[in-house]
Amino acid sequence: MASDLGAWPAEQASVLLEVLQRDGLTPEARRTREGILVLVPDEQSDQAHQVLAANMDVIARAARPAPGPGGRGRARPAGRRPEPQQRRRHADQNARLTSERMLRIGPAVALFLVTLLLAGLVPVAALPILATGVLASIWLLGKQAQDDQDGD
């Protein structure tokens, strides 16, 4: 019967096999869905575990990517990346918030555009028309913001 040393990724399994063979052990390797399954004969089990523990840093380094040309490894962002479902939910929420904001400022923008149109049609009174339109748009936005605060 063979003693199981676990399933390893291919890079780490190859280093583990080299280390075990270098110490005179006879490991076996089998490919499984989980990775490379490393086995040793039962009578070599204790020695194999000691060799594995002694060389764990070498085996762990085998899983790390090689440093790039700049001498540094690939930079990894801090924290976890959100799951695809989480990202989709955030995108939906952001789109909803954006459309709600657009609906909220829509009347003020329409009022300002009408003001610009009137100022273009009546160039003699353009300045008072523009000033009135800008003030009315600001008032409308302030009233909506106040209504939103009162509603919350």
**Per residue in 16-69, pLDDT tens?**
888 888 888 888 888 888 888 888 888 888 888 888 888 888 888 877 766 656
Query: Angle, to 10 degrees, between the axis of helix 84-121 and the axis of helix 126-151?
Result: 150
Q: What band does 149 get if pLDDT is binned at 50, 70 and 90?
A: confident
pLDDT tens for each residue of 75-121 = 555 556 656 666 666 666 777 777 777 788 888 889 999 999 999 99
Going by C-beta distance under 8 Å and a sequence separation of 6 or more, which residues neighbour residue 13?
Answer: 29, 35, 36, 38
Residue 125 pLDDT: 92
Residue 70 pLDDT: 56
Whether domain 2-61 has CATH 3.30.70.1530: the reply is yes
CA distance 6 to 13: 10
Residue 69 pLDDT: 60
Q: What band does 122 get if pLDDT is binned at 50, 70 and 90?
A: very high
In this structure, are residues 101 and 107 in contact, taking their beta carbons and an 8 Å threshold?
no
CA distance 62 to 109: 60
Give the 3-state secondary structure of residue 73: coil
Give the 3-state secondary structure of residue 136: helix
Q: Where are the domains of the chain?
A: 2-61, 103-151
